[in-house]
Amino acid sequence: MRCPFCNYEDTKVIDSRPSDEKKRRRRECTNCGKRFTTYEVVEKPTLMVYKKDGSFEPFEREKIIKAIGNAIKKRPVSVEDVNSLVDEIENTYANAMQTETTTSEIGDKVLAGLKKLDHVAYVRFASVYKDFNDLDSFIKIIAEIS
């Protein structure tokens, strides 16, 4: 870490503590003795989503939350449960250092998570995600969870 005052390469860490989702470090330059603060954050790779029409777009957490929100309307599923599910999906890709995925892969992960949370929300999400057109599709998906 370079000193912002004298541009010297060698600094020492005096204090380190967590701050929000960052790590705050108080440093001192071994050359000029001046002190300064740095923040360390984990850099996640940008996840790009390959859509059915062939285009790519950055992963948007809000889109998934909105889709799940439609499925859980008037159901006993908390906001914390939804956030945990979306966190789990995001972390799966971040931990694997994966930078590309498909909308269908994300949809399958959402379905798997909803299946554990609430069966009615699972069926609602599946009906939109899998584009159900008839009653047989509903019967088939309900038979899966029975």
Q: Tens of pLDDT along 100-114?
A: 999 999 999 999 999
Tokens of 21: 């989702």
pLDDT (0 to 100) of residue 18:
87
Taking the C-alpha atoms of residue 136 and residue 146, their distance in angstroms, rounded to an integer, is 15
What's the CA dihedral at 23, 29, 35, 37 to 10 degrees? -20
- So what's the pLDDT on residue 69? 93
Per-run averaged pLDDT (10 residues), the chain, 146 residues: 92 89 92 94 84 92 94 92 94 90 94 92 88 83 81
Strand partners, 11: 29
Strands 56-58 and 100-102: unpaired
Q: Which two structure tokens, joined as six digits, stand for 41?
A: 């954050």
End-to-end C-alpha distance for the chain, whole angstroms: 58
Domain ranges of the chain: 11-40, 48-145
Output the pTM of the full model. 0.67
Beta strands in 1-86 (DSSP E): 11-19, 22-29, 35-40, 48-50, 56-58
